[in-house]
Amino acid sequence: MDLYSMTIHELHQLLVKKEITSRELTEALYQRIKEVDAKIGAYLMLTEEEAMRMAQEVDQKISKGEEIGDVAGIPLGLKDILCTHGIRTTCGSRILENYVPFYDGTVVKKLKEKQAVMLGKLNMDEFAMGSSTENSGFQFTRNPWDLERIPGGSSGGSAAAVAADECIAALGSDTGGSIRQPASCCGVVGMKPTYGRVSRYGLVAFASSLDQIGPITKDVEDCAILMNAISGYDPSDSTSVNVEVPDYRHFLKRDVKAIRIGIPKEYFIEGMDPDVERSVKEAVDLFKTWGAEIKEISLPHTEYAVAVYYILCTAEASSNLARYDGVKYGLRSKEYRDLMEMYTQTRAKGFGKEVKRRIILGTYVLSAGYYEAYYRKASQVRTLMRMDFENAFREADVIMVPTAPTPAFRIGEKVENPLQMYLSDIFTIPVNLAGIPGLSIPCGFSHENLPIGLQIMGRHFDEGMLLRVAYTFEQNTNFHLKKPPGIA
């Protein structure tokens, strides 16, 4: 088996046994990137010198007989929304094309302390606004399963890189489904942790009450390993919650007997792709045969999720992106006669179409006379949605739904129809609005051989239960073992 196609836990064993070195592994990954990334377009930049230095350090540690952690010497990719000291962080936007942070985000710092090897920064929708990675200011990323299709978004570069074996695992961010939806499109595992479980310090803000960092991996065990590495309280993040972090690997049991699985009737809707509906229902039937209790539940305010989300996230985006004005850092237009023109020219040139659309929407819903009608009303409905989940979790231990209503669609198919594009996240958005954890795992394939994702939702800080349920499914099926045929 090629080194680049293996998992974190498999490679850790080989490193510990001295059957391979981290340097060999890192070189194998860079060779793989050179072979396939021209087709995929997952990476915005590579950090080869830094990566080789870290691999060398890990190899020296192993040769001295010192113990290494689970992610030490393992080559990972980072979504280009995470601040990296001395390395460009663009957020997929021309306005930050030459921005070099002077600090590491907390998750980056944690991975460096654990001696993970950072391969480079991965492509994304500009400022994480999008469901297809077509909104990047720099390049298209293509789905390894079909190069004419999108990889999902906004963490499309991260999901495509993991699926194409261009990194062993990656980090993404999720504001309305931006880890889970691309994981579903690319046939990999993606988790959005509970809001407050993973520090957002050093994550460039899109919508601060919704954003969360999480892992994209080849299997559930790797997801647990990365969750161990990045979770925990951080005083630098005012939204970080000081609750104990368990060892997530302890939850990896092949057992769902008597676990109550809720199936919300509001999620199986008209317009859902028949292959998605079939795959998800077949997955639910499997859980029933393994001893889980399947119950129909109701999340009555689901129909308002997309509307509520696009009021709240655009309002927060309008506020967060006001700082990109050509004064402090980032792009500054050279064509202006006065201060106001400098602002407008800088923002007009620096931001893409989708980001401008959301800033305009967000500014509108926060403006005098409209705040009460839109933003405040959306905040109230958000509370009702959170209460829906609280009530549902009295009857169920986890909730199971499709991750996305369709498999990956064709590049360009929805670019001119923003509403159709926004509906790509219809099943993932409620998780962010409620602040609960959600996990997507591969559960089947469409008639065109495109991956389909099963989404599992859980109570606040109950990521362990999601991992247990997902691990049981994964160990009894082989969907996660299939590789994209075109670039194998």
Residues labelled catalytic = 79, 154, 178
Q: Is the peptide bond before 154 cis (omega within 30 degrees of 0)?
A: yes
Q: What's the token pair of residue 151?
A: 């990889």
Residue corresponding to tokens 């952690």: 69
Q: What's the token pair of residue 248?
A: 């997530």
DSSP string, 414-438: STT-HHHHHGGGTTTHHHHHHT--E
| Helical packing angle, 305-320 and 353-366, nearest 10° | 100
Residue 442: Cβ within 10 Å count: 28
With CA atoms as reference, report the closest residue to 210 among 343, 310, 114, 112: 310
Inter-residue contact 189 to 219 (CB < 8 Å):
yes
Distance of CA 199 to the CA centre of its chain: 15
Q: How far apart are CA 233 and CA 230, in angstroms?
A: 10
Residue corresponding to tokens 């993991």: 162
User: Would the CA dihedral through 409, 410, 411, 413 be positive or negative?
Assistant: negative
With CA atoms as reference, report the closest residue to 415 among 143, 109, 125: 125
C-alpha Rg value of the chain to the nearest Å = 21
Distance of CA 414 to the CA centre of its chain: 21
Report the DSSP beta bridge partners of residue 171.
Answer: 78, 215
Q: How far apart are CA 161 and CA 36, in angstroms?
A: 10
Residue 487: Cβ within 10 Å count: 18
With CA atoms as reference, report the closest residue to 136 among 419, 421, 355, 425: 355
Q: How far apart are CA 356 and CA 129, in angstroms?
A: 10
With CA atoms as reference, report the closest residue to 163 among 177, 146, 139, 178: 146
Q: What's the token pair of residue 128?
A: 């994480």
| CA max distance for the chain | 71
Contacts of 287 (CB under 8 A, 6+ apart): 256, 261, 294, 400, 469, 472, 473
